[in-house]
């Protein structure tokens, strides 16, 4: 929950990255922040860079750099239905949330059984939401609390304050002189001077003026035993606590039953410990959550990609796995290959008109080919999956034996890696045995006569296969495919093409009419006439051929559509809404800068996130004209 305060919200800077081809997900430019954001426009789970995050009971919210709020997780009381507007702070409670708008007014939503969402009309400079009550600091430094008061948590003391933190059934405030006062179920507060305070379910933490952390209250799981050393921020959650070290790295302590106290690596600027999970914002504006995600509260919408799979014949599509396991797809969706189920996955494979993924529980799920793959049941748990034109092969997690569908049966015995190839008329599979040797099955001929030697990974196209040797070199067999010289860390094959990822992150391809983008990348996948790579920050960039409905809204331009492929035309269309409507259900993207929008051409303009305005208006009978500033 967002319990800590004592610091003013930070303003975002701006910069203008050069556009290269087109991208999926988050777009970066040099520096800590960016105000030009690349988001999905018509794909569920749009993502924009964030400046602040708050984890609540079983949900979480973030403030995007444009000031809009996006929430996710449990929604039984409407707590994830954030209102429109521009906000400078977000505070989440048990099952309600409040936002501090630019004009100093507070807007709350979600549960209101204890009047915790009935914000007064006073102007505030800071807010904090507890489990069933909410508090704020007005412009004169005075405190106001509303909602549950069964333990006295909403009866505020006099004086001026610079920070406020509402928790389970008690509240703490940071006085202007640096002292802490608490009231409610836990009225005890430590002596001394502090710079920030955070309150959890039944414990609290604060940072002293010497940057060390101090916690007090319930400590049955070690949540109030702060580690030694310097901290920039600290957040008290349900039964755990987390802090940002002076290095920007994270450290957590207390309950860890669901992984809420095992933070990711990286450098962070904001942090919020929830009831059973934790969320933080990196200095690059990426929100990361970990811990319990039963209600999706740790699956940040549109989070950076960790894995991709491109497929297709001449009509290409691709799917990617976000941090948290959610899958988004783009490209053609003729037979349902681009319509993933709302489940969490850890690996993907794409065929011509179908896609398969291994769920987080090890189960295999496929979709596409007019629903033929959707209805299939795959018994057991799997550790790897590979797709060909129309077939799929996977490795069983227990026996490590291979299993294939719409493809010849594999030989018995364990495999450590697998591939599937062919053109749908004749298909084949190949696998690497535990001793590193390759064995193939299915049709005879191209791609199925492996060489001697040992390999670590294998990929297959229509009539060729390639393996990565232990020394990083590539050996291919089957139909004539130009060799790739040098050393590589990853391979991908499709049709009559092969691409490899070099140790320096550059991608080299053979047999392709489309040149890959310049690196560095961390992963590559090709399919049909499409290639995609993941950048280090989790963005996906693609090259080749995709459907032409890709609205682009760039700096000093109105929204227009590219004619085909990655190159955008000069902005010719002023009705951005019409373009967006035409592309609903398609893999639509829009690069957005702060924009001025005129609805219905009435001369009334609104400055803000044009993309969010477009999405909100997509079903309305209005015209919307936007110019980026």
Give the single-character DSSP code of 605. Answer: E
- Split the chain (629 residues) into runs of 10 and give each run's mean pLDDT: 40 24 28 22 41 93 87 94 94 97 96 97 96 97 97 97 96 97 96 96 97 97 97 96 95 96 92 96 86 87 84 83 85 85 92 92 88 76 91 94 90 95 82 95 74 93 91 88 87 91 94 80 90 84 59 31 31 38 36 41 43 42 41
- Whole-angstrom Cα distance, residue 414 to residue 225? 48
What is the DSSP track for 183-240? EES------S-EEEEEE-SSEEEEEETTSBEEEEE--TTSTT-PPSSBEEEEEE-SSE
Instruction: State residue 445's pLDDT score.
Output: 61
Q: Are 443 and 430 in contact (CB under 8 A)?
A: no
Tokens standing for 409?
């049966």
Among 126, 24, 17, residue whose Cα is nearest residue 525: 24
- The burial of 308, by beta-carbon neighbours within 10 Å (0-12 exposed, 13-18 middle, 19 or more buried), is given as buried
- Whole-angstrom Cα distance, residue 407 to residue 388? 9
No. of helices (H) and no. of strands (E), the chain: 2, 48
Tokens standing for 440?
């193939």
3-state secondary structure of 470: coil
Q: Are 390 and 406 in contact (CB under 8 A)?
A: yes
**Which residue do the tokens 């702070």 mark?**
89
- Identify the H or E element spanning 366: strand 364-368
Tokens standing for 126?
């800071």
Look at the alpha carbons of 234, 235, 241, 242 in this order and tell me if their dihedral is positive or negative: negative
Q: Are 124 and 104 in contact (CB under 8 A)?
A: yes
Q: Are 349 and 321 in contact (CB under 8 A)?
A: no
∠ at Cα 318 (314, 320), nearest 5°?
170
**Which residue do the tokens 């008690």 mark?**
170
Among 572, 551, 466, residue whose Cα is nearest residue 511: 466
- Whole-angstrom Cα distance, residue 69 to residue 616? 14
Cβ neighbors of 11 (< 8 A, separation 6 or more) are none
- HEC sequence for 251-272: EEEECCCCCCCCCCCCCEEEEE
Q: Are 552 and 591 in contact (CB under 8 A)?
A: yes
pTM: 0.64
> How far is residue 205 CA from its own chain's centroid?
29
What are the structural domains, with CATH classification, of the chain? Answer: 22-291 (2.130.10.30), 305-536 (2.130.10.30)
Phi-psi category of residue 513: left, alpha or beta, with phi > 0 → left and psi -120 to 50 → alpha: alpha
Instruction: State residue 547's pLDDT score.
Output: 47
Residue 132: CA atoms inside 13 Å, Cβ hemisphere, count? Answer: 11
């Amino acid at each position: 929950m967002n319990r800590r305060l004592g610091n003013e919200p930070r303003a975002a800077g701006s910069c203008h990255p050069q556009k290269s081809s087109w991208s999926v997900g988050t777009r970066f430019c040099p520096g800590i922040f960016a105000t030009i954001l690349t988001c999905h426009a018509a794909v569920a789970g749009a993502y924009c860079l964030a400046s602040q995050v708050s984890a609540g009971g079983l949900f979480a919210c973030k403030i995007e750099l444009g000031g809009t709020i996006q929430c996710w997780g449990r929604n039984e009381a409407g707590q994830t239905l954030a209102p429109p507007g521009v906000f400078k702070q977000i505070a989440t409670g048990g099952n309600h949330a409040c936002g501090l708008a630019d004009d100093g007014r507070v807007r709350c939503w979600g549960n209101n059984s204890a009047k915790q969402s009935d914000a007064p009309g006073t102007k505030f400079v800071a807010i904090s939401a507890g489990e069933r009550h909410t508090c704020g600091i007005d412009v004169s430094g005075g405190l106001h609390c509303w909602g549950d008061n069964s333990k006295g948590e909403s009866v505020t003391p006099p004086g001026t304050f610079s920070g406020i933190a509402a928790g389970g059934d008690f509240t703490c405030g940071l006085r202007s002189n640096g002292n802490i006062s608490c009231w409610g179920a836990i009225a005890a507060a430590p002596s001394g001077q502090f710079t920030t305070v955070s309150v959890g379910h039944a414990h609290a933490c604060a940072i002293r003026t010497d940057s060390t952390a101090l916690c007090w209250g319930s400590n049955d799981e070690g949540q109030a035993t702060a580690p030694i050393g310097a901290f920039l921020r600290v957040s008290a959650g349900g039964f755990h606590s987390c802090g940002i070290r002076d290095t920007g790295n994270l450290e957590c302590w207390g309950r860890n039953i669901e992984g809420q106290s095992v933070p990711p690596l990286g450098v962070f600027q904001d942090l919020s410990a929830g009831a059973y999970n934790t969320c933080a914002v990196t200095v690059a504006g990426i929100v990361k959550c970990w811990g319990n995600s039963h209600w999706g509260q740790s699956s940040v919408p549109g989070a950076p990609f960790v894995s991709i799979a491109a497929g297709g014949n001449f009509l290409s599509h691709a799917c990617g796995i976000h941090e948290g396991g959610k899958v988004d797809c783009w490209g053609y969706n003729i037979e349902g290959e681009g319509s993933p189920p709302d489940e969490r996955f850890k690996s993907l494979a794409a065929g011509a008109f179908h896609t398969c993924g291994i769920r987080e529980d090890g189960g295999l799920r496929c979709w596409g080919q007019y629903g033929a793959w959707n209805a299939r049941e795959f018994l057991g748990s799997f550790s790897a999956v590979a797709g060909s034109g129309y077939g799929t092969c996977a490795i069983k997690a227990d026996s490590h034996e291979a299993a294939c569908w719409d493809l010849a049966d594999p030989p018995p015995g364990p495999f450590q890696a697998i591939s599937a190839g062919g053109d749908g008329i004749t298909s084949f599979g190949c696998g690497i045995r535990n001793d590193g040797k390759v064995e193939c099955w299915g049709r005879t001929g191209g791609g199925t006569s492996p060489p001697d030697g040992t390999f670590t990974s294998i990929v297959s196209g229509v009539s060729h296969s390639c393996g990565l040797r232990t020394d990083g070199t590539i050996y291919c067999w089957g139909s004539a495919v130009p060799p790739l010289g040098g050393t590589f860390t990853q391979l991908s094959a499709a049709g009559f093409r092969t691409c490899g990822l070099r140790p320096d992150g550059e991608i080299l391809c053979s047999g392709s009419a489309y040149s890959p983008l310049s690196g560095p990348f961390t992963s590559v996948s090709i399919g049909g006439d499409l290639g995609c790579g993941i950048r280090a920050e989790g963005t996906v960039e693609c090259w080749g051929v995709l459907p032409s409905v890709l609205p682009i809204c760039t700096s000093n331009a109105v929204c227009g559509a590219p004619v085909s492929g990655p190159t955008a035309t000069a902005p010719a269309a002023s009705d951005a809404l019409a373009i967006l409507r035409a592309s609903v259900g398609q893999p639509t993207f829009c690069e957005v800068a702060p924009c001025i929008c005129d609805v219905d051409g009435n001369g009334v303009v609104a400055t803000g996130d044009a993309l969010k305005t477009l999405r909100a208006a997509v079903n309305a009978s209005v015209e919307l004209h936007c110019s980026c500033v």
